[in-house]
Structure 1
């Protein structure tokens, strides 16, 4: 696909094709479905609409502050019947990764209680307080995401950089845009076809790059981290070969509510 064909503004016709040509929809959460506690207009209605159409939904988030169960409860509280296995969050993914490599040591958590809970649920022992357990030189370094900053506080990427520099270790990064999140879905659901999957997100460097690298169709919403002006600037940079083109989405739309309205209009126009 040429650069000119990317970043296409979504229409009713495009929405109809996305619905008919895809079986699986992946959603980022923060900036896409909500800016909690604000739930974006049409977000829950869209999830219920796609589910009623027989689509398989997963929620892929780099936010490690909640467990699978926490997220499932939040969805159920706001009107969508989500199951924990639909939630691919980095706290859960970290525990699954350590389990897959048969990690038998202790784990020092730089993170929230949710991470501790998911690790302990898999039988992984958590270290004590700061300075209580000196780490051996061969300790694994696993990071949930590489986001360097957020609106209110330093992100995991900033903390990761200092630890990686001090320890002279290269971390294993599990979150978007890296492959482990999609690998976890494919492991549990081998029939998920990337070519029949849509990734919906608000960050080009995580959500959109993740979807593009996995071979999915990508839809950027302007309700979160990336504005339409930002996208225009990125497109110019790609044209100058200053950044990689996998940051550009196939489609873009104002928000998930607009996507829902297009889908509903398409349904009404059917004979």
Structure 2
């Protein structure tokens, strides 16, 4: 009986500690309200927005997103759109914004496809070397705009492997980097090509646009993200990639130089804790989590979660409502 009593007390103590830890975690994040929004708004010169789950889901605009962006512009705030989705190039994202009724210039967009090209650029990737892409046209377009010779991607979508006895899979020995991003048409051919380049070409770089587990490819569901494709190449090469998307420090450092911004005057707005919020925190930005995408209220309250935003809100249009309150 004494042992049972001690066990019960131990269990109760553990539950109490868990509850206290949860309260402490939640106390570090403030729900956006009329009491704290003005301080945040006045202290910020630039808002960095994630796109999927914040501005849109799939091809559907999230309620109030357009009006909120217009309001922030009218108040003189600098806006930058930072997305880990590498499927599109910056110009393609500008067209998507336009199709949704939002005017955004290409220079305001910072995608992980662009980050991959800029990583090679700033690290003086030899112009005679080629880049093999497991991903979409967005990566290919950005690499070519940066002056690199890139191939693969959608062009290899229908290619197959010949497993005949003693057959040899040929690959280009001049490939000096393999870039892996989201690829809904990934196949064994692409995996083999990328694997051989990384394993057999001396000094070949393995670059991941991001390692997101899932993404909002449609409005109604989450779908496997680039992390799945990256993990496949990690498994076959036994190597870890250079990650250029959020929460990578490279992405933030390049962004700061490009837009001449101060971290203390920026607020990162996103729907993911492990990418968007961590990205902002690593740079010393203010952070706002919106619950319109991947992260739920219960995720935020989970005692095992150690990433806490400064503020959280249901969606970005809460800012519009609070400013007008």
Instruction: Give the structure-2-normalised TM-score.
Output: 0.74
- SS of 1:141 mapped into structure 2: strand
**1:4 Cα deviation (Å)?**
5.5
Pair 1:127–1:34, CA change in 2 (3 A): closer
**Corresponding position of 1:268:** none
Q: Deviations over 1:183-206 (max 9, x none)?
A: 12111123x111111111111111
CA distance in 2, matches of 1:22, 1:30: 22
Q: Is 1:43 the counterpart of 2:108 in the alignment?
A: no
Quick one: which of 34, 41, 64 aligns to 2:86? Answer: 64
**Corresponding position of 2:259:** 189
CA distance in 2, matches of 1:214, 1:108: 31
Q: Is 1:87 the counterpart of 2:109 in the alignment?
A: yes
- SS of 1:162 mapped into structure 2: helix
Greater mean alpha carbon deviation, residues 36-45 or residues 159-168: 159-168
Structure whose alpha-carbon radius of gyration is higher:
2
Pair 1:100–1:194, CA change in 2 (3 A): same
**Corresponding position of 1:216:** 285
Instruction: Give the structure-1-normalised TM-score.
Output: 0.88
Determine which structure has greater relative contact order: mean sequence separation of CA pairs < 8 Å that are 6+ residues apart, divided by chain length: 1
CA distance in 2, matches of 1:20, 1:216: 14
Count of aligned residue pairs for this structure pair: 254
Quick one: which of 298, 301, 314 aligns to 1:232? Answer: 301
- SS of 2:301 mapped into structure 1: helix
Q: Deviations over 1:155-178 (max 9, x none)?
A: 222221231232233311011111
CA distance in 1, matches of 2:273, 2:222: 20
**Corresponding position of 2:276:** 207
Residues 26 and 301 in structure 2, CA contact (< 8 A), matched pair in contact too: no
Q: Deviations over 1:75-104 (max 9, x none)?
A: 233333211111010111111111111212
1:81-120 residue pairs with structure 2 within 5 A? 81-104=103-126, 105-120=129-144
Greater mean alpha carbon deviation, residues 147-156 or residues 40-49: 147-156
- Name structure 1 gaps, 5 residues minimum: 239-244, 266-271
**1:152 Cα deviation (Å)?**
5.5
The ranges of structure 1 where at least 4 consecutive aligned residues each deviate by more than 6 angstroms after the TM superposition are none
CA distance in 2, matches of 1:92, 1:54: 26
Q: Deviations over 1:44-77 (max 9, x none)?
A: 1111111111111101110001111111122233
CA distance in 2, matches of 1:230, 1:4: 11
CA distance in 2, matches of 1:80, 1:162: 36
Q: Is 1:141 the counterpart of 2:206 in the alignment?
A: yes
Aligned-pair RMSD on alpha carbons? Answer: 1.8
**Corresponding position of 2:48:** 26
CA distance in 1, matches of 2:282, 2:320: 26
- SS of 2:53 mapped into structure 1: coil
- Name structure 2 gaps, 5 residues minimum: 1-23, 160-169, 173-195, 216-220
**Corresponding position of 1:263:** 323
Residues 25 and 301 in structure 2, CA contact (< 8 A), matched pair in contact too: no
Pair 1:237–1:198, CA change in 2 (3 A): same
